[in-house]
Homo-oligomer: A and B are copies of this chain.
Amino acid sequence: MDLASFLAEERERIDGALDRLLPAADAWPGRLHEAMRYAVFGGGKRVRPVLARAACRAAGGDAESILESVCALEMVHTYSLIHDDLPALDDDTLRRGRATVHVAFDEALAILAGDALLTEAFVVLGRFPDGHAFASRRADACRVVAEAIGSRGMVGGQVEDLEATRAAPDGDRLRRIHGAKTGALLGAAAELGALLAGASAGSRAAFALFGRRLGLLFQVVDDILDATGSAASLGKSPGKDAAAGKLTYPAVYGLDATRRERDALAGSLGEEAQRLEGGEGTLSALVAFVARRDR
């Protein structure tokens, strides 16, 4: 199967599971569930759940048995986008070519829909895969994901991102921000797949590191796209980060050096993927997708 078909099939499975797991739009309170679904079904690439399933396969697990669990990663990712877009934070009105949640609904509902999606992620992680035999893995899953996305992880990265606006170029600070904002959740996604597959602590750590480095690649590509893409291809305004005075790779290192960094990272991640899955499997496919994506 080619890469595009593989990813399309993965996304379809994940979207189907998300649809089953999220409360119906007409269940009380309807407006809230509408807002949650509007945000979740907004054209996301589902990179985090796909990564978790690929890691699960590479660690010798059954990716089908973790279909529900990995949806928690997409709920977390969606919550983080809703809150990042709020007027008090990045004040974005467009996301994937559509109005952001606080524009399409209102600010209160955007805050609460984000809160509810974050919470729902832990309903899912606490519940799946079910059965007493998996209880210990479920508890570990809650902890691994929560540690990655809390004040010392994803939320902390968002705080420093806001503080660093219009700050002097600083490569260490840039890597710290992106490591926390993007890398932590991708690291947790890869580790989640491995831990739900029953991997050892050492193996889990190797997957977590792979995920964090894939997050770095993801962010480097994101910064290149922000500097070079068009609104039509991106579904959001290009050049917005630069205009807002955000720290980005091109702002610190220039565009040429950033492209070389992308290629070097993609190369070494491709090799690491092959080591982790013993050949070219779905982890390798994901590295290629992240490196080459145009939105």
Contact = CB atoms under 8 A, between A and B. Distances in A.
Given A88-B106, A152-B28, A143 B127 contact: yes
A48 interface: no
A83 B109 contact: no
A126 B139 contact: yes
B132 A146 contact: no
Q: Give the size range of A's interface with the partner.
A: 35 or more
A116 B163 contact: no
Interface in A166-214: none
A159 B29 contact: yes
A36 interface: yes
Interface string A135-171: 1101111111111011110011011101100000000
A107 interface: yes
Contacts of A119: 118, 146, 149-151, 155
A141 B29 CA distance: 24
A37 to B, nearest CB: 11
B132 A138 contact: no
A23 B155 CA distance: 13
Nearest to A154: B119
Interface in A1-28: 23, 27-28
A31 B86 contact: no
A135 B142 contact: no
A contact patch SS: helix
A108 B89 contact: yes
A123 B153 CA distance: 12
Interface string A108-119: 110110111011
Contacts of A118: 115, 118-119
A142 B138 contact: yes
A127 B144 CA distance: 10
A28 B156 contact: yes
A114 B149 CA distance: 13
B108 A32 contact: no
A123 B136 contact: no
Residue of A107, A108, A139 ringed by the most chain B CB atoms within 10 A: A139
A122 B120 contact: no
A125 interface: yes
A114 B150 CA distance: 10
Closest 5 A-B residue pairs measured CB to CB?
Answer: A126-B143, A126-B142, A135-B136, A138-B139, A88-B107
Interface of A: 23, 27-29, 31-33, 36, 79, 83, 86, 88-89, 106-109, 111-112, 114-116, 118-120, 122-123, 125-127, 132, 135-136, 138-147, 149-152, 155-156, 158-160, 162-163
6 contacts: A28-B156, A31-B163, A89-B112, A122-B145, A126-B143, A132-B136
